[in-house]
């Protein structure tokens, strides 16, 4: 029983970060329909910035994590404006418009991984902070870093949810998700909405990376490992549904922990992949989602 409880708690704690990474991707994907194959590499950038900050400033470096998140978000806006915006021009079909964007984001991901390899080498890096160790609550062991990261992730998600559902800007975002053409007709500035949504999405990835670095070693391809998880989470959560993505993130965290504990450690992702493929085929709308099939 206590094993089960531990599995649930650890799964939710880790899954909270998947949730933040994925709700960011879900927001930018739902709005721009760009499948960002570099999304998870921004997680890696966040992790390395955290490592650098903590090596320079000790545990105080962790306070810079939100700043790094914002900086990474600006980088995302630049990527959209410089690399992705123009390629949709002149496309005859929607697939046609998104293909160059998929290719460019895949290339961008390779570029980021290679740049990090050149700067930091392939050695695993980790940090020592005040968050090392665990709290013992009842029979449970709660990693301090995971708890703190989860709390910050939940706050970040709450802010995102408020912005999307309670502000005028968020109304524009939701309008674009529902019907981009109609939204443009009633005066939503599409280019601004697109670049800001990519910026927010990528900055959440960077923030999650900064938090992840407190309990996870990092090398240039660490983030890439989260890419497929983020895709799975976004689709399961339903296209463009950030709440769905956040909840699906925690579900996936629990599934991973349960598989790793009860089945085999190296199969923890397989359960997720198989679940994803089955859901995609049986219910291509995602668990809470909209129509994605032809």
User: Which residues in this chain contact other proteins in the complex, by CB under 8 A?
Assistant: 33, 35, 83, 86-95, 97-100, 102-104, 106-108, 110-111, 113-119, 121-122, 181, 220, 224, 228, 231-232, 235, 264, 266-267, 269-270, 273-274, 276-277, 280-281, 284, 292-294
Provide the β-strand partners of residue 14.
none
Q: Which is nearer to other proteins, 102 or 147 (CB)?
A: 102
Nearest approach in angstroms of CB 241 to other proteins is: 15
Q: Half-sphere exposure (CA, 13 Å, Cβ side) for 28?
A: 30
Q: Which is nearer to other proteins, 175 or 207 (CB)?
A: 175
Nearest approach in angstroms of CB 232 to other proteins is: 6
- Eight-state DSSP code of residue 136: E
Distances (CA, A) of 14 to 32, 37, 107, 153: 27, 22, 28, 10
Q: Which is nearer to other proteins, 63 or 111 (CB)?
A: 111
Length of the chain: 294
Exposed, middle or buried by CB within 10 Å (0-12, 13-18, 19+), for 261?
middle
Q: Which is nearer to other proteins, 32 or 214 (CB)?
A: 32
Contacts of 284 by beta carbon, 8 Å cutoff, 6+ apart? 291, 292, 293
63/57 Cα distance (integer angstroms): 10
Nearest approach in angstroms of CB 196 to other proteins is: 20
The b-or-e profile of 86-106 (16+ CB within 10 A means b, else e) is: ebbeeeeeeeebbeebeebbe
Nearest approach in angstroms of CB 197 to other proteins is: 16
Q: Which is nearer to other proteins, 12 or 77 (CB)?
A: 77
Nearest approach in angstroms of CB 198 to other proteins is: 16
Pair 201, 28: CB distance under 8 Å: yes
Q: Which is nearer to other proteins, 110 or 163 (CB)?
A: 110
Pair 223, 209: CB distance under 8 Å: yes
Nearest approach in angstroms of CB 117 to other proteins is: 4
């Amino acid at each position: 029983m206590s094993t089960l409880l531990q599995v649930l708690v650890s799964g939710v704690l880790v899954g909270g970060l998947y949730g933040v990474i994925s709700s960011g991707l879900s927001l930018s994907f739902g709005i721009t329909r760009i499948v960002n194959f570099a999304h998870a590499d921004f997680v890696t950038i966040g992790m390395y910035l955290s490592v650098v900050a903590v090596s320079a400033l000790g545990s105080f470096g962790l306070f810079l994590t939100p700043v790094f998140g914002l900086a990474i978000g600006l980088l995302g806006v630049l990527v959209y404006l410089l690399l992705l915006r123009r390629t949709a021009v002149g496309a005859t079909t929607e697939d046609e418009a998104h293909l160059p964007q998929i290719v460019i984001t895949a290339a961008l991901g390779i570029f980021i991984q290679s740049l990090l390899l050149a700067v930091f080498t392939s050695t695993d890096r980790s940090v020592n902070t005040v968050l090392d160790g665990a709290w013992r609550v009842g029979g449970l062991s709660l990693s301090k870093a995971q708890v703190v990261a989860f709390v910050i992730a939940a706050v970040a998600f709450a802010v995102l949810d408020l912005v999307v559902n309670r502000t005028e800007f968020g109304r524009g975002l939701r309008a674009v998700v529902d019907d981009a053409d109609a939204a443009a007709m009633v005066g939503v500035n599409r280019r601004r909405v697109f670049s800001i949504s990519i910026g927010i999405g990528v900055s959440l990835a960077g923030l999650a990376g900064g938090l992840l670095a407190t309990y996870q070693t990092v090398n240039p391809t660490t983030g890439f490992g989260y890419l497929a998880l983020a895709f799975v989470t976004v689709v399961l959560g339903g296209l463009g549904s950030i709440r769905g993505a956040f909840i699906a993130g925690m579900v996936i965290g629990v599934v991973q922990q349960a598989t790793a504990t009860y089945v085999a450690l190296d199969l923890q992702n397989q359960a997720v992949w198989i679940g994803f493929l089955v859901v995609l085929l049986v219910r291509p709308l995602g668990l809470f989602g909209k129509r994605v099939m032809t």
